[in-house]
Amino acid sequence: MTNEELWKAVLGEMELSLSRANFITWFKNTSILSKDKGAVVVSVPNGFIKEWLENKFNKRILLSIRNFVPEVREVRYLIGRPKIELVKHDFSSIILERGMEDRPNNDSDKDIDRTTNLNKRYNFESFIVGSNNELAHAACLAVTKNLGKLYNPLFIYGGVGLGKTHLLQAIGNRILNENNLKNILYISAEKFTSSITESIMNRTIEDLKARYSQLDLLMIDDIQFIAGKEKTQEIVFSTFNELYGKNKQIVLSSDRPPQAIPTLEERLRSRFEGGMIADIGVPDFETRLAILKQKSHEKVYDFSNETLVYIATHIQKNVRELEGALNRVGAFSQIYNRVPDIKEVKNILNTYLSSPYRKTSPQSILKSVAEFYNISSNDLVKRSRKKEVVRPRQVAMFLLREETKLSFPEIGQKLGGRDHSTVIHACEKIKSESSIDEPLKQELVLIKERVYNSFDK
């Protein structure tokens, strides 16, 4: 294995466990300078990156290298231009492979249409229908056949990596190709918000509003991001009314139903609830296997059925992870130029499945709870008894108890020095309520997803 191949494999692994932005930040322009006597020297572009890799990623990098070269004992980082050619790890294609279209406007993404923000890859043909997404899929298809007339707005919600972006974009692509309508826009709520802020600064907000009001089809992804953002909500509201009044189609996605989005203006909530709401759940085994077969076909992988069954059995909650695991096996067969047998597959996925990256920290739980309820982490710790923070605080206590090894007194300590009996009470309360209160149960699932889907904490 050459240094270049080795680093490529390591990057492949890192990429699976990090958010896209993080991956690019920390690993762009890195390479292996040399490898001898148990030490690998990695070239990094600057001191900042060096420090981060040493402090935050060293263990993972070492583990990953040892997967391929077990005798390596140490990794060192060196600032400077690499003497050998840089590894040409294709960052843009990885992003597309993983389908992380969080920032569809990224200019380096060559497959993304500049005016609509659509990526052709997301279409109905490549979407596998199962009992978990049947309703959402049918609603999306129906919308393409009755644009603006049947379900308006269409509101799709579901957890991370379950196909919301895929479905939204599939609608856009279908309309673009078959109806010949040009005024189509797919946009993430984050991007939507930042263009509003920008145009307020540039005094072009009227132009922006005029542009949105011309649309035939507007898709806003991850609409929960507009929670607490008043100006954005105002523009969403006026755009909504304008388009709705002209029978123009609006499609929205979110990680939760409209009534569970905190600090969403009532008038917007009722608009969102005025059309059709469909949810996407976790795929069952058959659907997971079908998705793996579809993805293998797309990528011309030739893995045995046993391999696919193994992956489908062990990864259950997130289609993006399912793809990630498949790609990992794919990386192996590229490096070794052969299809791995089932024993090797188990080995390859072993570190991924039981990966230490899935462990969490109290900070990460507090951060995720705060983000979810749109309050600050500090509110959780403070002495306030306001209703908006009491419940999140109890949820935080419950999750700290469930997901970490902290004792009741330790949890009380973390949350502003509260008594352990308060913590016990909170844990019991959330536990018993979540067994009968479906929205609360769903909230807990979503927060946990957040905890385990962000790796930079």
What 35-39 contacts at long range (C-beta under 8 Å, 24+ apart), as own/partner pairs, is: 35/3, 35/6, 35/69, 35/72, 38/71, 38/72, 38/73, 38/74, 39/72, 39/73, 39/74, 39/75, 39/76
161 is in an annotated binding site: yes
> Residue 71 to residues 3, 31, 143, 290, 356: CA-CA distances in angstroms?
14, 19, 57, 39, 21
Out of Mg ion, ligand ADP, none, what residue 162 binds, judged by CB under 5 to 8 A for its kind, is ligand ADP
317 is in an annotated binding site: no
In angstroms, give the least distance from the CB of 101 to Mg ion. 7
For Mg ion, the closer of residues 165 and 434 by Cβ is 165
For ligand ADP, the closer of residues 140 and 426 by Cβ is 140
Please say whether the beta carbons of 365 and 452 come within 8 A: no
Q: Which residues of 341-368 are buried (b: 16+ CB within 10 A; e: fewer)?
A: eeebbeebbebbeebeeeebebebbbbb
The yes or no reply on residue 233 touching Mg ion (CB under 5 A) is no
307 is in an annotated binding site: no
Please say whether the beta carbons of 306 and 342 come within 8 A: yes
Q: Which stretch binds ligand ADP (CB under 6 A): 53-61, 157-165, 181-189, 261-269?
A: 157-165
In angstroms, give the least distance from the CB of 162 to Mg ion. 9
In angstroms, give the least distance from the CB of 162 to ligand ADP. 4
Cα–Cα dist 320/18, whole Å: 13
Out of ligand ADP, Mg ion, none, what residue 160 binds, judged by CB under 5 to 8 A for its kind, is ligand ADP
The yes or no reply on residue 258 touching ligand ADP (CB under 6 A) is no
In angstroms, give the least distance from the CB of 309 to Mg ion. 27
- Those residues whose C-beta lies under 8 Å from the C-beta of residue 19, and which sit 6 or more positions away, are 454, 455, 456
In angstroms, give the least distance from the CB of 164 to Mg ion. 5
281 is in an annotated binding site: no
What amino acid occupies position 399? L
The yes or no reply on residue 191 touching ligand ADP (CB under 6 A) is no
In angstroms, give the least distance from the CB of 106 to Mg ion. 14
The yes or no reply on residue 326 touching ligand ADP (CB under 6 A) is no
Of residues 367-426, those binding ligand ADP (CB under 6 A): none
Among 82, 161, 362, 392, binds ligand ADP (CB under 6 A): 161
- Those residues whose C-beta lies under 8 Å from the C-beta of residue 31, and which sit 6 or more positions away, are 3, 4, 7, 42, 43, 82, 84, 85, 86, 87
In angstroms, give the least distance from the CB of 281 to ligand ADP. 11
Q: If residue 219 lies in a helix (H) or strand (E), which one and from where to where?
A: strand 217-221
Cα–Cα dist 434/444, whole Å: 8
Of residues 19-48, those binding ligand ADP (CB under 6 A): none
Out of ligand ADP, Mg ion, none, what residue 357 binds, judged by CB under 5 to 8 A for its kind, is none
The yes or no reply on residue 165 touching Mg ion (CB under 5 A) is yes
Hey, is 278 helix, strand or coil? Answer: strand
Half-sphere exposure of 397 (CA within 13 A, CB side): 30
Size of the site for ligand ADP (CB under 6 A): 18
The yes or no reply on residue 52 touching ligand ADP (CB under 6 A) is no
Out of ligand ADP, Mg ion, none, what residue 127 binds, judged by CB under 5 to 8 A for its kind, is ligand ADP
In angstroms, give the least distance from the CB of 161 to Mg ion. 8
For ligand ADP, the closer of residues 133 and 296 by Cβ is 133
Q: Which stretch binds Mg ion (CB under 5 A): 27-35, 161-169, 239-247, 433-441?
A: 161-169
Cis peptide before 153 (omega within 30 of 0): yes
Of residues 56-95, those binding ligand ADP (CB under 6 A): none
Cα–Cα dist 283/449, whole Å: 15
In angstroms, give the least distance from the CB of 256 to Mg ion. 13
The yes or no reply on residue 320 touching ligand ADP (CB under 6 A) is yes
Structure tokens at 183: 């005024």
Please say whether the beta carbons of 96 and 111 come within 8 A: yes
Of residues 99-118, those binding ligand ADP (CB under 6 A): 99
CB atoms within 10 A of CB 444: 19
| Contact string (CB under 6 A) for ligand ADP, positions 271-300, x = contact | --------------------x--x------
Cα–Cα dist 19/455, whole Å: 7
Cα–Cα dist 429/410, whole Å: 19
The yes or no reply on residue 450 touching ligand ADP (CB under 6 A) is no
- For Mg ion, the binding residues (CB under 5 A) are 165
Enumerate binding residues for ligand ADP (CB under 6 A): 99, 126-128, 133, 158, 160-166, 291, 294, 319-320, 323
Enumerate the known binding-site residues for ATP.
161, 163-165
